[in-house]
């Protein structure tokens, strides 16, 4: 019986986080086995077509994997669709005085009429119009127009000038016709909205979520024997609402399910309470580590519902499995989001102690996220501007790992810590805090890396120093780290997923 793997996520993007990377990797591998594999997304993305096109073009996403998006589906199925003439969005407009505002990633222009600030336009680095803001007499934004990669109007948000909140949205196809409107309302705490779809048949929904649920069910009913993986807890109820005679529903857990401080197995985070209440409605729940399965089974029982499938390391391009000859023995790296959960402040503060012993030591942190300014300020405060560097997103993680003596992971929590196997597969040992979950399942202390007492910066610094200064130790850890290529091989990973799908 032919089965159809379907991966349900909120969105895809080129600069991918852990869940997105894992989902794409699984989709690519399953596309080698199954005739049809889908990734289904539900969020609006201004440059959706560009994102998906680049994922295909750069070989990140296999072209056999089809991507279905809620908004793009209705945009394409709008009966009044006909491509309107391309509009040239020039900077200068008659009747306005224009003031240019230069930003690092884009160029903006303010438009004044009789002294009043009326409009703002933003262009990307390719000169494409991204958005237009419209202002009232007081300079408050009352409307924002979004333009897609082809500079067609794709969405308008209307704002309450007093609360600054969005109260109404419109979505447009490339013919310029509105195919969906969403009334969010003026009340700041209001969660519900009223959605209207203007297709061949006008339909109204109490909420956008209700419309998305109906759409998901409609799409899945066109597929033969769908095996649907819910990758995020916010999508669980949407999947569970779908009625399909041959559907199988699988929840995939990518993260630590525990509440702060993420150590007590009895203390489940609120975002996971719904999953554990409704475990019986899923055909299977996939976890990433044996330690997490043990904790969950101890708490909720029902052993048969859970299976463990760890992540695989990335395919290697190193000839003859040899480690890079350009490894820098005084450099440590970290590849992770700039986010409080990643506790990069711990790595930076510990590295202050490393520099006191090894003045030429360097820590290169690759990523992006909301904590960038905080981290940069900490680097400056500790006087580490010549030793610790925020390098931005790394598009070549293998080369980054293979150039370093070790990598660091000081997160407060993870579901697996995929960066651990990625680093070790390049022969780069990992120095990690012993948090839940991941490090304990992968790292053997002083064999292929180091497990450090959670929060012990002094011990963290000592382990980094020992790797940087002891060639014999570094070589031993590096050689043993390479064993993850077999333990967490793609062959085993793929077979685990196929076995699961075929068992359902």
Q: How far is CA 148 from CA 48, 133, 141, 193, in A?
A: 8, 15, 21, 25
Domain ranges in the chain with CATH number 2.20.110: 105-198
Of 15-24, 28-37, 229-238, 359-368, the least confident:
15-24
Task: Name the H helices within 173-269.
Answer: 208-220, 236-240
Express each pLDDT in 370-411 by its tens digit: 999 999 999 999 999 999 999 999 988 889 999 999 999 999
CA distance 472 to 206: 66
Of 306-320, 333-347, 367-381, 477-491, the least confident:
306-320
Q: What percentage of residues in the chain have a pLDDT greater than 70?
A: 93
CA distance 448 to 161: 58
3-class state of residue 110 by DSSP: strand
**Confidence (pLDDT) at 163:** 87
Asked if the model's pLDDT at residue 80 lies above 60, the reply is no
Express each pLDDT in 428-460 by its tens digit: 999 999 999 999 999 999 999 999 999 999 999
Q: Going by CATH, does the domain composed of 105-198 fall within 3.90.1720?
A: no
Task: Name the H helices within 224-303.
Answer: 236-240, 270-277, 290-300
**Confidence (pLDDT) at 206:** 87
Express each pLDDT in 151-201 by its tens digit: 999 999 999 988 889 999 999 998 888 999 999 875 555 555 677 877 777
**Confidence (pLDDT) at 3:** 96
**Confidence (pLDDT) at 319:** 47
Asked if the model's pLDDT at residue 121 lies above 70, the reply is yes
Express each pLDDT in 39-63 by its tens digit: 999 999 999 999 999 999 999 999 9
Of 83-87, 163-167, 269-273, 488-492, the least confident:
83-87
By the 10 Å C-beta count (0-12 exposed, 13-18 middle, 19+ buried), 452 is classed as buried
Mean pLDDT for all residues in the chain: 91
**Confidence (pLDDT) at 318:** 47
**Confidence (pLDDT) at 303:** 81
Q: Which two tokens stand for residue 228?
A: 């649907």
Instruction: Quickly state the pLDDT bin for 27 (edges 50, 70, 90).
Output: very high
CATH architecture of the domain 319-487 equals: 3-Layer(aba) Sandwich (3.40)
Asked if the model's pLDDT at residue 322 lies above 60, the reply is no
Domain ranges in the chain with CATH number 3.40.50.2000: 4-77+211-308, 319-487
Instruction: Quickly state the pLDDT bin for 105 (edges 50, 70, 90).
Output: confident
By the 10 Å C-beta count (0-12 exposed, 13-18 middle, 19+ buried), 280 is classed as exposed
CA distance 365 to 372: 10
What is the domain class of 4-77+211-308 according to CATH?
Answer: alpha beta
Express each pLDDT in 255-290 by its tens digit: 999 999 999 999 999 999 999 999 999 999 999 999
Q: What is the pTM of this model?
A: 0.83
Asked if the model's pLDDT at residue 148 lies above 50, the reply is yes
Express each pLDDT in 201-234 by its tens digit: 788 898 899 999 999 999 999 999 999 999 999 9
Asked if the model's pLDDT at residue 320 lies above 50, the reply is no
Contacts of 191 (CB under 8 A, 6+ apart): none
Indicate the angle between helix axes 490-503 and 18-30, nearest 10 degrees. Answer: 80
């Amino acid at each position: 019986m032919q089965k159809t793997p379907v991966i349900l996520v909120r969105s895809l993007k080129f600069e991918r986080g852990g869940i997105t990377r894992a989902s794409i990797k699984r989709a690519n591998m399953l596309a080698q086995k199954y005739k049809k594999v889908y990734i289904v997304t539900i969020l609006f993305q201004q440059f959706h077509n560009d994102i998906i096109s680049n994922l295909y073009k750069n070989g990140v996403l296999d072209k056999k994997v089809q991507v279905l998006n809620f908004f793009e589906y209705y945009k394409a199925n709008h009966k009044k669709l006909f491509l309107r003439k391309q509009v040239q969005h020039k900077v200068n407009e008659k009747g306005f005085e224009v003031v240019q505002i230069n930003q690092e990633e884009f160029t903006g222009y303010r438009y004044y009429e009789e002294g009043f600030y009326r409009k703002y336009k933003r262009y990307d680095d390719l000169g494409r119009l991204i958005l237009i803001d419209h202002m009232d007499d007081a300079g408050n934004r009352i409307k924002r127009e979004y333009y897609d990669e082809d500079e067609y109007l794709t969405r308008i948000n209307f704002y309450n000038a007093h609360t600054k909140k969005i109260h109404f949205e419109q979505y447009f196809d490339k013919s310029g016709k509105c195919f969906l409107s969403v009334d969010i309302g003026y009340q700041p705490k209001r969660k519900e909205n009223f959605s209207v779809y203007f297709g061949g048949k006008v339909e109204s929904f109490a909420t956008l979520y209700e419309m998305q649920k109906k759409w998901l069910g409609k799409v899945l009913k066109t597929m033969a024997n769908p095996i649907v993986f819910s990758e995020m807890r916010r999508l669980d109820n949407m999947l569970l609402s779908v009625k399909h005679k041959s559907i199988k529903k699988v929840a995939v857990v990518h993260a630590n399910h525990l509440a702060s401080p993420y150590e007590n197995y009895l203390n489940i985070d609120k975002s996971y309470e719904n999953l554990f209440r409704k475990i019986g409605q899923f055909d299977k729940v996939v976890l990433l580590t044996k330690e997490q399965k043990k904790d969950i089974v101890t708490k909720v029982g029902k052993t048969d519902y859970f299976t463990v499938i760890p992540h695989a390391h990335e395919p290697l391009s190193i000839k003859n499995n040899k480690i890079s000859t350009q490894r820098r023995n005084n450099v440590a790296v970290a590849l992770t989001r700039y986010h409080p959960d990643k506790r990069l402040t711990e790595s930076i503060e510990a590295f202050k102690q490393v520099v006191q012993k090894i003045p030429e030591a360097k820590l290169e942190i690759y990523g992006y996220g909301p904590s960038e300014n905080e981290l940069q300020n900490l680097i400056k405060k500790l006087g580490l501007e010549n030793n610790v560097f925020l390098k931005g997103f790394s598009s070549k993680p293998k080369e980054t790992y293979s150039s370093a003596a070790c990598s660091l992971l000081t997160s407060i929590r993870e579901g697996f810590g995929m960066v651990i196997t990625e680093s070790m597969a390049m022969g780069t040992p990992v120095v990690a805090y012993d948090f839940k979950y991941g490090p304990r399942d992968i790292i053997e202390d002083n064999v292929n890396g180091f497990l450090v007492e959670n929060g012990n910066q002094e011990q963290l610094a000592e382990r980094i120093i020992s790797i940087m200064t002891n060639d014999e130790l570094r070589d031993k850890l590096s050689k043993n780290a390479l064993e993850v290529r077999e333990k967490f091989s793609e062959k085993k990973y793929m077979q685990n997923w196929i076995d699961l799908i075929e068992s359902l």
